[in-house]
Structure 1
């Protein structure tokens, strides 16, 4: 492309942003947008993105997303155009303030603070960097909305990145940004972020499901038309101005359902939902219209009684409003119908930015967001230094589906689904939580572990003699509750931990040995403890004696401890295999090799991938490539928190057998177990390592563990098992237990 052609492209892209802005309801401040564009273009002059295109096209694209997909105005467009100027050029925030005013400068400063993705290079700083992102929300919500636009454009152009970088960014996006978009009510963006992350993490699965969706389009359209035609006729009789359409499940959500339910694509029956959006000029009439449409649909089709969701009367915490019902279609499958007004639809798709259009007072614009920020303040203030713990705790609240419960005085409290009485106690106040002894739900006495349902009335009972207990942790579904309980426990445990640390320090001082990370890691493995703090706790309680450790682990037996750490359990690997780490270049794809006696990777304890699985590598503290399945929850956390240690991998030379667990379900009959074992052992010559079968009347469920070389063997085995008379389903369980 010639310089003149590039110049025309840049100008056309900017005009596209401007034209979209002029069509919006925002006040027209074209002059300042023009100035911001010219300034950013000059500042980024001569700089190119990794893809080779002029850098200025990125800020323009971010401004377009912020304006046209999120619905933000001139201040945000200017900030988006300028968002990388302070980070990448010699200009300062003061320069931005002098030229464009304090509000735009404040947003640019907030974006600069959290530049380079949420996380920096150092794992220890990552949780703190994420806190910065969330704290900037309270300064100005537009900071995080523009950051979301920035991430979306980076995901759309991720193809130009190296594989390891793709893993890191896709993992971080799926783990943090997609849940955050969901919590902010940006559902279109959340869905696209999930799909793009999935595309780069599982490219083959993404292509396969996309192709299956394309192939089934004609059949789906016919089924939808049969279902929708009577509904449309009924709506026409009601003289409504409305729009009705089929909403197809995203590729990612289809794949998730296939994985969790262990079903093929052909058995995903709820591929689409029907969405009805009606026009209504008077918000006070919206609720009545929603229920009149509900009545018309239930006159035509049988209602599923347990799957009606009324978010019109009590909106979700992120402002989402709609009436959902599920009815049985003419083909015998359940279909979800979502009923919304035009106002509800805009808020559902664009989130808080759309709220601003419908608010009467300036002070109310960010009330819902500020309410959410109050719920996570405890987490932000928590001194927990562990990045993954922090992210896991926060993610509990980010992606939780919600229930609404009531206090005895009628106050509505929105909580994550599966919350307990104890969660409500901690939601009300830390002191109430730590002294909670029980609760009354709908005037009936219940234990503090009791799980709540939407609509419950909850009264918390306390006693000053009650103290916080570690066994309460499983009762808590909220991040706030867990954080407050852990803080209370730390207060109680801290003197014991301090005492244990003194014993630990004295132990090393007497032997004149430095407590290096390597030595402490071996010590933690020996005592089967997860952290130094846990070790200090045990020492303070007097439940372990360090002198016994030194006697057992003399220099002669040092190597035996090392082998303990590096050895793969016999239940996972039948051979004794030496782990021989190789030099790792995270910018290149790491080739996985394994012979009968050695291999260049370590299998993780949390998941057990086999050749053919989509896997990634994580370079652990010992410099070894630790292998995780991409579907493993810990892999998601590692990608988000330790991006620079992630390496893309490929199976190259593997001469070994691996354990795989297969779940088999079917109708029981005489001789089916014998037929199954004979086919596997005799006909297919596959070794069976364990078999457990449960029967309930005529139905059986079997857990089978076999020794295989790769996923292809497992797939072929499942297909053959399905052909046995009586077997309804056979699928591999991805995470084989120890």
Structure 2
């Protein structure tokens, strides 16, 4: 275990004016607090924070960050408190240590939700100071290095969490070395057989190609000497996880991989990067489509380098990366490599400097924090954060030349939301490279995208399944919720207006503001939406605004009388309509002798269905089916065939009985005029005249009501089930559209089983 003076010496090598007192104080305090605690390996627990501190010294972090590493588990695993840390080391250090402390005793249903809330807390802490991230990643790295001592079931969960969250997060922050080691360690535990196979094959290929690699390295050095370019050349080997992932995603064999080995060319200046590139491309042929200039267009994690693949000296493909010393340091250590510090005051408690937030990696983090502020549920947050951690990117441009980086597979909808949420919400189309393209088009590197907008647009909920970025997905969900809330708010407004009118009381939205606390709602729109959804009875709102109000109508009506009232309503509905039989066309067929008796008429003669034998009775499922529906027949042993629309959930009951499925289709000519059954659900305001309004719309649209029932009733609205008779699917859809426009109707939908 590293001694106290050894830790100080490690920091002194890169920071001679180190605050020794702070490191000594943190070392002693953490060692005393962890006392005789042991790790799963049997080692003293204090060895863990000490190793985390050592990892951070390799990254040349300041003494305040090293001290936080020593203290990072004290609040979580010992008797130490935030107040005690504040008093001994200052509030800044206390804030950093608390940011690394997991949330305890979370009252959450799922482990996934707990994981999400801890990640949310960590990201919020990182947003205020990136050193929290550096300590957390070093903490995770040491835990992964010692994961063999953890029980197998816990080991797999930690490895998967590392692969899903912490390794991509390190990559997003530009810490490529950290990311690769985390992936390598996680891969070893998640899929040990694949890890062993890939590692052995890569080692075997390296040994076989050792001479070729040396020859290429010497050829490059000779070329640079010829052009008087001062450069170092190092061969590099692709990591096992990168090899395995590429083989999996592109279905390649080992023999088909051309970039297991590559070469890194390090020069002093940006100009020399392009000088070296010119020398290489004028000497050897470039492989088309394999050139990327991340110097002129850096990645979002601040990575800068030139990538190219050439047909090398021995006619084999050679992958090259050309960069400066500084670019190489940033590629390896990411945000930890930025030498721009803002002095936060090197006082007696060693608050120390903080790394500048003026980086692309931090810009991404701020966008993620914006998504946190929208209040997604834990599972959504975890999913969206994982989406945002994708590494493979495409770079697209706005018509004005602004660069937009997106994950691979992104669409113009993702692009629109990346520009601005309002642009995404009002997107109706897109031009890609000057041509109008579908919104589902997958964008490619260098595409110029122009978004076509309309203020009347509301993003469809179906977009959520198209987009790939967490920001777009969250925005679409919010817009959908907002649209639904607006709809319920409008319905609630009408319900309250009628309720207040019946009570003889004046209604205004301003009148609701003083009683919001009594209604437990934060604003008036919440009240209206709650009434519209049926969560808040209109009588409760009336009593809140007018405490002396008494609902005499409700008080004087006994339950039996109210039930009778609903019975009379049904009777009234029956009286309102002429409800004929299934169809008059059947009678005419019988008179013309085209049907063989009453049983044949009821069974098959009047149903224009192809695909069934003439002697089998045919009937419709309770939810009905209409021409225009795709239909299927289910053989009912002893009772004939039942016709279902293909979208009916009832069909799942027959999934394991394929022998009962019969291929049927409509057989209807223009001369055939007959109505067919369909069931719809209508949710409407519970007020005098509502049913009459709905009935009139149905009648005006030339549809018959066969039966009517009340599926659910509440003080303010009622859900009614109508069994209708309509001509075909177009007729039914037109009727549904007309019903949706009626002011008395909150929701209308077709019932499919």
On the 8 A contact 2:409/2:442 being kept in 1, the answer is yes
1:356 correspondence with 2:339: yes
CA change 1:472–1:25 in 2 (3 A) is same
Q: Does residue 452 of structure 2 align to residue 461 of structure 1?
A: yes
Q: Among residues 23, 40, 44, which one is paired with 1:54 in the alignment?
A: 44
Matches within 5 A, 1:221-370: 221-278=210-267, 280=268, 286-356=269-339, 365-368=356-359, 369-370=361-362
Q: Secondary structure at the match of 1:356?
A: coil
What is the match of residue 471 of structure 2? 480
**8 Å Cα contact 1:437/1:447 also seen in 2:** no
Contact kept, 8 Å, 1:120 with 1:126, in 2: the verdict is: no
Distance 1:359 1:158, change over 3 A: same
TM-score in terms of structure 1 length: 0.62
Report how far residue 100 of structure 1 moved.
1.5
Larger radius of gyration: 2
Give the distance between the partners of 1:381 and 1:502, measured in 2 at CA.
Answer: 28
Instruction: Indicate whether 1:379 and 2:379 are aligned.
Output: no
Deviation at 1:232, TM superposition (A): 0.9
State the 1:115 CA deviation.
8.1
1:379–1:480: 8 Å Cα contact kept in structure 2?
Answer: yes
Give the distance between the partners of 2:654 and 2:104, measured in 1 at CA: 40
Query: Relative contact order: is structure 1 or structure 2 higher (C-alpha 8 Å, sep ≥ 6)?
Result: 1
Alignment correspondent of 1:674:
none
Residues 26 and 200 of structure 1, relative CA distance in 2, 3 Å threshold: farther
1:248·1:271 contact (CA, 8 Å) conserved in 2?
yes
Measured at CA, do residues 298 and 360 of structure 1 come closer, stay the same or move farther in structure 2, by a change above 3 Å? farther
* Residues 566 and 372 of structure 1: CA distance in aligned 2, closer, same or farther (over 3 Å): farther
TM-aligned CA deviation for residue 173 of structure 1: 0.5
Q: Distance in 1 between matches of 2:653 and 2:241?
A: 35
Give the counterpart of 1:422 among 404, 407, 413. 413
CA-atom RMSD in angstroms: 3.3
Cα 1:338–1:566 change in 2 (3 A) is: farther
Gap regions ≥5 residues in structure 2: 345-352, 489-528, 538-558, 560-650, 659-753
Q: Are the counterparts in 2 of residues 209 and 251 from structure 1 also a CA contact under 8 Å? A: yes
Q: Which moved more, 1:371-380 or 1:438-447?
A: 438-447
Q: What is aligned with 2:201? A: 212
SS of match in other structure, 1:485? helix
1:135 equivalenced with 2:128 (yes/no): no
The residue aligned with 2:719 is: none
For 1:142 and 1:26, locate their aligned partners in 2 and report how far apart those are by CA, in whole Å: 21
Residue matched to 2:21: 31
Give the distance between the partners of 2:652 and 2:315, measured in 1 at CA: 55
Could you report, residue by residue, the CA deviation over 1:526-567 in whole angstroms, capped at 9, with x for unpaired residues?
xxxxxxxxxxxxxxxxxxxxxxxxxxxxxxxxxxxxxx9999
Q: Which residue of 2 aligns with 1:42?
A: 32
Q: Contact 2:116–2:378 at 8 Å: present in 1 too?
A: yes
Number of residues paired by the alignment? 494
Gaps of 5+ in 1: 1-8, 281-285, 511-563, 572-738
Partner SS, residue 437 of structure 1: strand
Pairing 1:148-187 to 2, within 5 Å after superposition:
148-187=137-176
Sort the Cα spacing of 1:459 and 1:164 in 2 relative to 1 into closer, same or farther, 3 A: same
Q: Deviation per CA, 1:111-153, whole angstroms, max 9, x where unpaired?
A: 1145899x99744333222211111111111111111110000
Report if the CA contact (8 A) 1:378-1:484 is conserved. Answer: no
CA drift of 1:51 comes to: 0.5
Residue 15 of structure 1 and its aligned partner are, at CA, apart by: 4.4
Query: Any conservation in 1 of the 2:221–2:231 contact (CA below 8 Å)?
Result: no
Query: What secondary structure does 2:100 align onto?
Result: helix
Higher mean alpha-carbon deviation, 103-112 vs 423-432, is at 423-432
- Between the aligned partners of 1:143 and 1:48, the Cα distance in structure 2 is 25
- Note the 1:497-576 alignment, pairs <5 A: none
**Which residue in the other structure is 1:532 paired with?**
none
CA 1:205–1:17 in 2, change beyond 3 Å: closer, same or farther?
Answer: farther
Once residues 74 and 177 of structure 1 are traced to their aligned partners in structure 2, the CA distance between those partners, rounded to angstroms, is 24
* CA–CA distance in structure 1, aligned partners of residues 358 and 337 of structure 2: 13
SS of the aligned residue for 1:216 comes to: helix
Query: SS of the residue aligned with 2:452?
Result: strand
Confirm or deny: 8 A CA contact 1:87 1:112 kept in the other structure: yes
What is residue 399 of structure 1 aligned with on the other side?
Answer: 390
Question: 1:144 and 1:434 mapped to 2: Cα distance?
Answer: 33
Deviation at 1:298, TM superposition (A): 1.4
Whether the 8 Å contact between 1:254 and 1:271 is mirrored in structure 2 is: yes
Work out whether residues 26 and 73 of structure 1, in 8 Å CA contact, stay in contact via their aligned partners in 2.
no
For the structure 1 residues 130 and 316, does the alpha-carbon distance in structure 2 shift closer, same or farther, using more than 3 Å as the test? same
Q: Report the Cα distance in structure 1 between the residues aligned to 2:261 and 2:105, rounded to whole angstroms.
A: 37
**Equivalent residue number for residue 679 of structure 1:** none
